[in-house]
């Protein structure tokens, strides 16, 4: 028997949702610790949680604090995590045991959040962007652990598509190989985070939260392990110009290479430089799309829960 309960604290709000058989939506925390600066990260995290509650769903922000896995954070904990920022450990699958053993604080990535959500029997998770195959991965072999997690862990992930710091074509090929479908929410074209278009098709266009919930249920009731990606385009009013995004990303990539940034530091470095180089425009887009994903994620969580209610 595994001992998740021994290492996990469930917040009061989330425990009440579990007890009352209320729908829940998982949220990650690397975006809080490494994705934005303080206090914008705290404000965004609170707005995201509120957007989920507004849909009648309980938000479950996942993190590690003082060597404990947190399934849901109290307000004071969320504040502490946000203030900790990048001095918290960016925690993916490989990091979980060491962050717990060291008694530290960790912002959980998409991969780690999926693992913890699945253990808590939470099937839907919303975030901004996922990791993927980095540009130049044919040399660096930098492929995010998020993609492997999507292949093995039963959680549906709502995001705004892969950010173009990634090699989008190779990311899609990798996902296809590992059996992970990419569904576009009300679009046939894969969105690319800051932009609504990427030039790539999604595997399936889905038009409603209920359609996604049905596909999730069929997948897992057939024993087809793993997650799926629901790509939700950034709202038009926050979308950035594709040419400008491309210029900024190329500059950020060149700087990363020059300074020799790699491994787990690459994604946070690129995100920070994009924010600086875009003069705040990217942050606005980031907040807009995350809120949009939180609402859609909550609708999917609600439909999946009301149709297939899987909590024991």
Q: Which residues are catalytic?
A: 28, 163
The first and second tokens of residue 30, run together, are 């690397």
DSSP state of 58: E
192-218 in b/e form (b: 16+ CB < 10 A) is bbbbbebebebbeebeebbbbbbbbbe
Q: According to CB under 6 A, which one of 72, 106, 129, 233 is a site residue for ligand PSU?
A: 129
For the chain, what is the radius of gyration of the CA atoms? 18
Q: Closest approach of Cβ 239 to Mn ion, in Å? A: 26
Q: Is 164 in the site for ligand PSU (CB under 6 A)?
A: no
Distance separating alpha carbons of residues 310 and 212, to the nearest angstrom: 16
* Cβ-based nearer residue to Mn ion, 77 or 142: 142
Q: Are 108 and 27 in contact (CB under 8 A)?
A: no
Q: Using CB under 6 A, which of the segments 38-46, 127-135, 202-210, 274-282 binds ligand PSU?
A: 127-135
- Can you tell me the distance from the alpha carbon of 231 to that of 182, in angstroms, rounded to the nearest whole number? 7
Ramachandran area for residue 268 (φ above 0: left; ψ -120 to 50: alpha; else beta): alpha
146 binds Mn ion (CB under 5 A): no
Closest distance to Mn ion from the beta carbon of 115 (Å): 17
Q: Which residues of 83-114 are buried (b: 16+ CB within 10 A; e: fewer)?
A: ebbbebbbbbbebbeebbeeebbbbbbbbbbb
Q: Residue 128: which of Mn ion, ligand PSU, none does it interact with, CB under 5 to 8 A by kind? A: ligand PSU
Q: Should residue 231 be labelled a site residue for ligand PSU when binding is judged by CB under 6 A? A: no
> In whole angstroms, what is the distance from residue 23 CA to residue 206 CA?
21
Question: Please, which residue, 123 or 305, has the CB nearer to ligand PSU?
Answer: 123
Least distance CB 130 / ligand PSU (angstroms): 6
**Distance in angstroms (rounded) separating the CA atoms of residues 162 and 288:** 16
Strand pairing category for 106-108 and 124-126: unpaired
Interface with ligand PSU (CB under 6 A), residue from 23, 35, 104, 297: 35
Residue 135 or 196 having the CB closest to Mn ion: 135
Q: CB of residue 220 vs ligand PSU: minimum separation in angstroms? A: 22
95 or 142: CB nearest Mn ion: 142
Q: Which of 14, 24, 27, 30 binds ligand PSU (CB under 6 A)?
A: 30
What is the three-class DSSP state of 21? coil
Considering the rule CB under 6 A, would residue 157 count as an interface residue with ligand PSU?
no
Of positions 49, 142, 148, 281, contacts Mn ion by CB under 5 A: 142
Is residue 10 a contact point for ligand PSU (CB under 6 A)? Answer: no
- Beta-bridged to residue 9, according to DSSP, are 70
Closest distance between ligand PSU and the C-beta of residue 165, in Å? Answer: 7
Q: Which residues bind Mn ion (CB under 5 A)?
A: 142
Q: Which residues bind ligand PSU (CB under 6 A)?
A: 28, 30-31, 35, 109-110, 128-131, 144-146, 163, 193, 264, 267, 271
């Amino acid at each position: 028997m595994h001992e998740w309960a021994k290492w996990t604290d469930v917040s009061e709000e989330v425990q009440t949702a579990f007890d009352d058989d209320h729908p829940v939506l998982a949220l990650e925390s690397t975006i809080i610790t490494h994705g934005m600066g303080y206090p914008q990260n705290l404000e965004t995290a609170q707005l995201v949680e509120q957007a989920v509650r507004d849909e009648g769903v309980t938000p479950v922000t996942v993190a590690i604090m003082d060597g404990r896995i947190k399934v849901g954070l109290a307000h004071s904990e969320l504040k502490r995590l946000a203030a900790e920022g990048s001095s918290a450990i960016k925690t993916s699958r490989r990091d979980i045991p060491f962050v717990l053993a060291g008694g530290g604080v960790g912002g959980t990535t998409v991969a780690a959040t999926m693992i913890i959500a699945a253990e808590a029997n939470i099937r839907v998770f919303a975030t901004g962007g996922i990791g993927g195959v980095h540009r130049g991965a044919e040399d660096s072999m930098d492929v995010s652990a998020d993609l492997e997690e999507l292949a093995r862990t039963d959680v549906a992930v709502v995001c705004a598509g892969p950010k173009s710091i990634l090699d989008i074509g190779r990311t899609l090929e990798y996902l296809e190989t590992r059996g992970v479908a990419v569904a576009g929410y009300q679009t046939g074209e894969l969105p690319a985070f800051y932009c609504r278009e990427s030039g790539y098709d999604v595997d399936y266009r889905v038009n409603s939260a209920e359609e996604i919930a049905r596909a999730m249920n069929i997948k897992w009731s057939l024993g087809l392990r793993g997650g799926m990606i629901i790509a939700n385009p950034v709202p038009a009013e926050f979308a950035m110009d594709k040419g400008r995004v491309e210029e900024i990303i190329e500059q950020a990539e060149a700087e990363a290479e020059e300074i020799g940034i790699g491994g787990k530091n690459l994604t946070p470095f690129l995100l920070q430089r994009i924010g600086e180089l875009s003069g705040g425009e990217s942050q606005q887009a980031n907040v807009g799309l995350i809120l949009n994903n939180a609402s859609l994620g909550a609708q999917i969580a609600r439909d999946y829960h009301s149709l297939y209610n899987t909590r024991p």
